[in-house]
Amino acid sequence: MARTASAVSPPRLVGRPRRLTLDGLLDAAIEMGLSELNMKELAARLGVGIATLYRYVANRDELIRLASGRQAYRHTPADTGQPLAEIVCDYADSLYSSIGSNPHLVIGYIEARLGIAAEIEFLESYLAALRARGYGVPEAMELYRALGMIVVGAAVARAHFNALAAQGTDQAAELDRAFAAWDADELPHLREAAPFYADTDAMCDWRSVLERQIAAFERRYGKRGEARGG
């Protein structure tokens, strides 16, 4: 007996289904918006079962952490051929701002929940900028490590000082409270350094420290001019 038109099965799609990647998953989550992210809706958007998402992330919280990190690192500065010190400080400023608005990135990195997957586009862009100025990858990575240590340290310090302010105190008050447990003639060196230790702006001044590091880098490897084509 012939089947009716309504009983005919739809044609089978030819070819492999689109392969999901972690980058693709994070990008889709960012596009949908992280604040109200729904895993079922995300799976539907990607054309996969919800169980497929959990092959890439343990849960919704991990997905949001990874996507937040990726989103933060996407803010790469424009390369207009500016001198080395300027372009490196532009990258540092972008990183400092990203960590400032997403302090959980530091915890995610410490706990190995964030890694190169979040940083990859930012680092690739930085390396391209340094290569365009005539520096090799080993040299560029040397400066990148210095940038990271300086900026992340300053961002963590700023987050700490902001948390103190939210508690109604500050670095100077906390230091005075600590001194109260010691006799007045004890800790003479720290007491002398107290005004500097309590200078939170100086402790968060990553730019002047990084500029000195860049100057030392240029003395070691030479100034190589503007970016090619800049």
pLDDT at 15: 43
3-state secondary structure 13-39: CCCCCCCCCHHHHHHHHHHHCCCCCCH
List C-alpha distances in Å: 115 to 85, 87, 120, 127, 182: 26, 23, 9, 17, 43
pLDDT at 115: 66
- Name the residue type at position 192: E
Answer yes or no: are the C-beta atoms of 187 and 179 closer than 8 Å.
yes
Answer yes or no: are the C-beta atoms of 114 and 108 closer than 8 Å.
yes
Answer yes or no: are the C-beta atoms of 134 and 87 closer than 8 Å.
no
Domains in the chain (CATH in brackets) are: 75-221 (1.10.357)
pLDDT at 208: 97
Answer yes or no: are the C-beta atoms of 135 and 214 closer than 8 Å.
no
Which residues of the chain, if any, have pLDDT below 70?
1-18, 72, 113-115, 117, 225-230
pLDDT at 120: 80
Nearest-10 Cα torsion for 64, 112, 120, 203:
90
Burial (CB count within 10 angstroms: exposed 0-12, middle 13-18, buried 19+), residue 160: middle
pLDDT at 226: 55
Q: What percent of the chain has pLDDT over 90?
A: 63
pLDDT at 105: 75
